Every structure is written in structure tokens, then in C-alpha cells.
């Protein structure tokens, strides 16, 4: 029996959603990311790219969906990235399957579809934790006790959700934008903050055993700690099991990463150090090099 044929034509059981506006990310990088996800997953997804423009060289496996004009307002495409909330808009992502949104500055190491196991129900919205207040009963309780002024917040480099259950996120944002056109209402300051606020009752944390933000995992203010951390047995074990790493906030172009030499040090805008060494990064250094070498 030709199992390759069956795999190629099997109906998808989940969706991988990507969002892109402007020219920061090349089509080659988007294709490379989709290929990496497809090569490592046990069940092939439907790929959806929400884009502000046509991309003639886009891989056949990726379906391009155009941005509605509402989400292309200049004020929604700044550092707050509120335009990413388009993933929850009616008619953009099909509602028949659960979805995993992934930022384009992501390196995939394993089966991304295993993240769907984090969904406790169809209403679940899972993202990375980014604040002290944890998702779960503590975050929900604080949200209720403070009349929604305090709540657990996350990072939206990955969003695991069911499109059929999350249209309310986009709808609520659009309604609030009419009242707060300058985005002065605090939860509207960024897409991830708004998701955390409006869907707090259904939020779940994506554990750092599944995915991490590169700056938080591999950068720190004190360089010596990076060497120590990389040698800790439980850290080494957890890193080996990582499914994905996002290079969010890392203001370094792929060409720069590929040109770094052993021991090179880069300091970001928060004074965190990146030491480009196998002693601090382990296998991640070669993974980054291999990924970007395939997309340039």
C-alpha cells in the first residue's frame, strides 16, 4: 500500500494560520516555515496565510486569504500588532477545524499539532504566558474580583484556538475601536493583551516544554548565567523536547544570524545578551542556521 499517497490526500484535521503584512518577511521564508511544519507533523494541516497582498511564489499547499481593509489601518500595524486579530474575523479562517496560529519568526522543531492537546474545550484559547499572574483559576478570579481590570496576560507568537468559537474576539475589538479610536483603552494596546483580556475565562497557558520565546529562553542580562543555565539537567531535557521557538522581538535579520561567529555577543534593546555559542545555545544554534539557510 502506498502510504505516501494516502498521507498526501488525507483530509486535514487541523489548520495552521499565518499572518503577514508589509515586506519584512519574504515568501521564501513563509514557504520554508510551512514546509518545516509539514515535514514534522503526524497529520498534515490546512495552511492559511492571511496577507495584505498577492504572493505569486507562494507554495501551492498554502491558501492565501486577503486582509479585510478594516484590519489594514495604519494604527493597527504598529508595534501593538492589533491587525493579527484578523485571525478571529468572520469568513477568514474556516470554522470546521481547530487552528494553531504561528508567528513567521518561528523555528519548528517537532510536531506542532500536539499543541491541540492543550485545548480543554472548543472555547479554549492557548497562548504563551508573559506576565506574573498565571492563566487558570488565579487569573480568572482576579479578572472577576477587579471587574476585569487585572488579569493574566500572554504572548501571541502562538495561538491555539477554534475559529468557530472565537469570532467574538474580533467583534469586540471592532466595537471598542469605535469608542476608543486612539486605542487608549488599555486592553487594546496590543493584540495579545486584548486576547488575554476578552477571552480570559477561556485562556490556557502554552507550557515552556512545548514552545518558548527565544529572548526569554536563550538571552539574559548576565552572560555567565547563560552558560550555567545551558548545563542544568532539567533545562537540557526540556529544551530537547521543544516543539517550537519564536524569535519574537529579536531585532536581528537572518543574514546577521548566519554571519555570527563562535562567541559573538549581541545585546538587545532590553540589555539582554545573546552569546552565539554552542555552550549557551546547544543544538539550537545549528537549528537556527539550518532553518534560515533554507529560506534565504
Q: Give the model's confidence band at 256: pLDDT under 50 very low, under 70 low, under 90 confident, else very high.
A: confident
Asked if pLDDT for residue 6 goes beyond 50, the answer is no
Beta bridge partners of 172: none
pLDDT of 25-63, one tens digit each? 999 999 999 999 999 999 999 999 999 999 999 999 999
* Confidence (pLDDT) at 292: 82
Asked if pLDDT for residue 21 goes beyond 50, the answer is yes
Q: Give the model's confidence band at 250: pLDDT under 50 very low, under 70 low, under 90 confident, else very high.
A: low
Beta bridge partners of 203: 125
Can you read off the three cell numbers belonging to residue 214?
Answer: 527565544
Q: Give the model's confidence band at 241: pLDDT under 50 very low, under 70 low, under 90 confident, else very high.
A: very high
Based on C-alpha coordinates, what's the Rg of the chain?
A: 19
- Residues 102-129 have a mean pLDDT of 96
pLDDT of 137-162, one tens digit each? 999 999 999 999 999 999 999 999 99
Average pLDDT of the chain, as a whole number:
92
Please answer whether residues 24 and 77 qualify as being in contact, where contact means their C-beta atoms are separated by less than 8 angstroms. no
Closest alpha carbon to 171 in 189, 154, 194, 152 = 194
Asked if pLDDT for residue 249 goes beyond 70, the answer is no
Amino acid at each position: 500500500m502506498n502510504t505516501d499517497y494516502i498521507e498526501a490526500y488525507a483530509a486535514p484535521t487541523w489548520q495552521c494560520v499565518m499572518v503577514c503584512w508589509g515586506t519584512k518577511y519574504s515568501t521564501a521564508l513563509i514557504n520554508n516555515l510551512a514546509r518545516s511544519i509539514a515535514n514534522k507533523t503526524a497529520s498534515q494541516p490546512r495552511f492559511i496565510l492571511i496577507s495584505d497582498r498577492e504572493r505569486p511564489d507562494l507554495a501551492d499547499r498554502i491558501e492565501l486569504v486577503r486582509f479585510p481593509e478594516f484590519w489594514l489601518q495604519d494604527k493597527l500595524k504598529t508595534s501593538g500588532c492589533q491587525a493579527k486579530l484578523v485571525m478571529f474575523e468572520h469568513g477568514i479562517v474556516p470554522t470546521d477545524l481547530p487552528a494553531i496560529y504561528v508567528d513567521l519568526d518561528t523555528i519548528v522543531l517537532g510536531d506542532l499539532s500536539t499543541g491541540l492537546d492543550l485545548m480543554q474545550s472548543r472555547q479554549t484559547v492557548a497562548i504563551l504566558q508573559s506576565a506574573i499572574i498565571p492563566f487558570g483559576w488565579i487569573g480568572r478570579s482576579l479578572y472577576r474580583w477587579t471587574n476585569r481590570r487585572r488579569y493574566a496576560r500572554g504572548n501571541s507568537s502562538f495561538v491555539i484556538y477554534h475559529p468557530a468559537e472565537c469570532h467574538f474576539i474580533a467583534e469586540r475589538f471592532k466595537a471598542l475601536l469605535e469608542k476608543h479610536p486612539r486605542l487608549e483603552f488599555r486592553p487594546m494596546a496590543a493584540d495579545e493583551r486584548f486576547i488575554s483580556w476578552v477571552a480570559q475565562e477561556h485562556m490556557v497557558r502554552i507550557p515552556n516544554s512545548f514552545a518558548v520565546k527565544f529572548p526569554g529562553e536563550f538571552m539574559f542580562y548576565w552572560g555567565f548565567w547563560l552558560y550555567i543555565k545551558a548545563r542544568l539537567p532539567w533545562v537540557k531535557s526540556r529544551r530537547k523536547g521543544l516543539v517550537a521557538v519564536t524569535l519574537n522581538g529579536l531585532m536581528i535579520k537572518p543574514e546577521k544570524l548566519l554571519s555570527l561567529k563562535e562567541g559573538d555577543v549581541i545585546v538587545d534593546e532590553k540589555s539582554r545578551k545573546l552569546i552565539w555559542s554552542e555552550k549557551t545555545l546547544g543544538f539550537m544554534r545549528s537549528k537556527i542556521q539550518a532553518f534560515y539557510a533554507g529560506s534565504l
